[in-house]
Amino acid sequence: MVIEDNKVVYVHYTLNESTAEGQLIESTKGAEPLVFIFGVGMMIPDFEANLKGLQPGDTFAFGIPAANAYGEYDETILTEVPKSMFEDEGKIPEGLLEIGNSLPLQDQDGNRFQGMVAEVGLDKVKLDFNHPMAGLDLFFTGHIESIRDAEPEELAHGHVHGAGGHMH
């Protein structure tokens, strides 16, 4: 079986910045494999393009430039907000506004998103809405562990069920 649309792929990988020798970002080594349905938009398109046609046991090594991964870092989406918006009963919870903290936020339309605390001033907080890996060139190495057909229910839900996937 080869990797193609609507196949569940089990892959072990190591992700480094820029090259195989670059700073380690994450790895499945010693852990469960990454499990996803190929071709349903769950993964970076260039990641999938580099895995297409591979079979269990095949290895891979490829880079993805930032622009084709999580995008270039965009200074224009750093936003200052009043510090008071984080108050709960007149106080800001201890440790909430630490630089680097990722905060779950919601806009006036109920849309949820994450913002990272970039700077804390006396009256304002600067939030960074870039993806944490924006601006990073990525380099993946690894191997394909296994492949199977996606179940109709998995395709309908858009994610893998059971071991390595989503439990309902």
Domain that holds residue 101: 75-128
* Domain containing residue 106: CATH number: 2.40.10.330
Query: Do residues 63 and 87 both lie within one domain?
Result: no
Query: Do residues 12 and 56 both lie within one domain?
Result: yes
Domain count, the chain: 2
Which residues neighbour 39 within 8 Å (Cβ) at sequence distance 6 or greater? 4, 5, 6, 7, 48
pLDDT tens across the length of the chain (168 residues) = 999 999 999 999 999 999 999 999 999 999 999 999 999 999 999 999 999 999 999 999 999 999 999 999 999 999 999 999 999 898 999 999 999 999 998 888 988 989 999 999 999 999 999 999 999 999 999 999 999 999 999 999 888 987 655 554
Assess if residue 166 is contained within a domain: no
Which residues neighbour 45 within 8 Å (Cβ) at sequence distance 6 or greater? 68
* Domain containing residue 141: CATH number: 3.10.50.40
pTM, entire model: 0.83
Query: Do residues 143 and 94 both lie within one domain?
Result: no
Assess if residue 137 is contained within a domain: yes
- Residue 79, Cβ neighbours under 10 Å: how many? 13
Query: Do residues 89 and 41 both lie within one domain?
Result: no
